[in-house]
Structure 1
Amino acid sequence: MPNIHTLAAAFLLTTASLTAQAETPWGEKDEADLLREARTYHIMFKSEQDAAAAKARLSAKSDKELFSAFQKLARAESKDPGSAPAGGDLGIVQEGVMVKSFERALFSLAPRTVSDPVKSEFGWHLIYAYDFKNTSVKSICTTSLAGSVERSQGTEREILFVSDSLRAASDFVQRISQIIGPEWGAPMKDWNGDLAFVQLLGEPGQASKRKALVHIEYMTPILSTAPLACRRSVRQEYEIDCSVNLSAPAGRYEYEGRAATGRLLVKHLNSEAERTKFASNTGFHGQLVTIACPRQVVTQAQSPGTTTPR
C-alpha cells in the first residue's frame, strides 16, 4: 500500500494562492488561445528536382488558373496515393498535426498560393493553401468534452459533466481531494502553478531509490491535437534517487476530464536518455526529493532544468 507522507508546511498550497494564472509552457495552446486551420492541398514528389520543376510550371499559371492546374498536376504526378485522386486534397489541417517542416511552410503561405519545395521524411512537397481560419480552443474543449459525457456512464460521467464548472468552484481544491481519495498528500503547486498532489510509494529510509506519483489538475485546459480534445488532468511518475538527491520523470498519462477521468489523450513513457536529461533537484523536483528523502539534504542543483515536458 502507498505510504502517505505529510508535506512540509512550506510546500502546502492554500486555496487563495491558486487564483494565480498557471503558465502553459513549450508553446502549447490552452482554452484562451486560437487554433489556426488551413484547407490544404499538396503534391508529393520523390526528389527536390521534380518538385522544383513542377513549381516552375505552376508559376507560369495565372491566379485564376493556379488552383485547377495544381489539382490536375496532383492527380497526374503526386506520389501520395491517399490524396492524389482528390487533386491533393488533405482537408482541414490544424496546427500540431503535420510534421514540422510541412506545418511551417503551410502556415507561412498567403491564401491560394503555392509553397516552394518542402522536404519531409516522406518526400518533397508542394503545398497549396486554399484558405485559413481561426478556431477557439475553448470551443474545441467544450465540444469534445460534451461528446465524452454522452459516451460515459456512472461516476465517470458525473465527474466529466462538471469538469469545466468544477474549476470555477470556490471549493475546487477540496472537491478534487475528495474525488482522487485520501491516499494522495496535501495539495501543492507544481512548477507551472497548477494544482498538484503527491503519492509516495514505499517507506522512507528503507531504500535509496523511491517512486512518486504526482496528480496534476491543469488550471486551464490544454489542447491535444490527436485526438482533438483538451487535457484537464495528468498523472506523472517519478523516480527519486536519494543517494544523489535527484528526481527524474518516468512517464505521464493525460486525461480529458478532471481527477484523471475520461479519455486518455496522452501516454508517454520517458526513455533512459530523457530521464537523465530532465533529472533535477531544483524547483518541484527539489520538493519531491525533500519529501521522499527526509534524511537527505539537497545541497546543489544537478541539472539546470526545473521543468519536465508535458
Structure 2
Amino acid sequence: MNNQLKALFSNQTYQPNNFFLIAGPCITESEAIVMEVGEKVSGICKKLGIPYIFKASYRKANRTSANSFTGIGDEIALKLINKVGKTFEIPTTTDIHANEEAAMAAAYVDVLQIPAFLCRQTDLLHAAAKTGKIINVKKGQFLNGPSMKFAVDKIVQAGNDQVWLTDRGNMFGYQDLVVDYRNITWMKSIGVPVIMDCTHSLQQPNQVGGVTGGNPELIETIAKAAIATGADGLFIETHPNPAVAKSDGANMLQLDLLEPLLEKLVRLRAAVV
C-alpha cells in the first residue's frame, strides 16, 4: 500500500497486505439506506481488516430512460454521504459529471470519481485535479488499459498526483460487457493504484425496456479474478434489497451476501500476495 493510501486509511485498523474496498449503494436514495449500508459494511471491513471507503452517487446523470430516478437533491445527498463518513469515521467518495460539480462535491467527500463515459474530458479532469482530492478515474468501456495513461497525465499536469484507475469492463456487442484482466496489469504499470469494479462490469446496458440489466451472480467470479491478477482495490455496489433499489438494482450485490464474499477474498488475497 503506497503512502497515499496509508494516509487515507490512517484512522482504520487493517491488514497491511489486504485489498481496499469501495462499496455502497448506487445512489443516495435516503438517509436510512446510506446509514444502514455504511454501518454494516464498515463493521464487516473492520472485522476483516479491509480498508474501506463508502460510496454513493449524490445524483445519477447517466440513466437509460428520461423517467429514471436521478436523486433526492444534490446538497441533501452530499450532506448524507458526509454524515456517513463522519459517523463511522471512514473516507467517502462520489462521482461528478461536470466541471462546476468538482468543487461542490469536494467539500463533502475525500475521493472524486470520474465516470467511465467522461474519462477523456480534459476540462473535467483538470477541475477535479484542482480540488486537491484523490481522483478515481473509471476506464471507459471503449478504451484499453494503456490508453488510461493520458487521463493520469492530464490530472498530474494539472498539479495533482493523487490518481487511481478503475476498470469496469469493455463493451462487447451492443448490450453486454466483458472484463479483460490484462488491463489491471497494464494500468498498474502506469504507477497508480488500480481497482476492479465488480458490479458495473456485469451490467447489460441499453436494454429495450429502458432499465439496465445485469448478472450479479457473477460478482464473486469477477472479484476473485481481480484479486488473483493483482488489483489493489475492489468496487462493489451493494444494497439491502436490490430488487427495489432506485438505480442499478440489476447488478448490485445484496447486502447480506457481502460478508461471506469478502471472507473468501481476504483468504485469496493472503494466498496470492
- Please tell me the TM-score bracket, short chain as reference: under 0.3
State TM-score, norm by structure 2. Answer: 0.24
State TM-score, norm by structure 1. Answer: 0.22
Q: Per residue, is there more strand in 1 or in 2?
A: 1
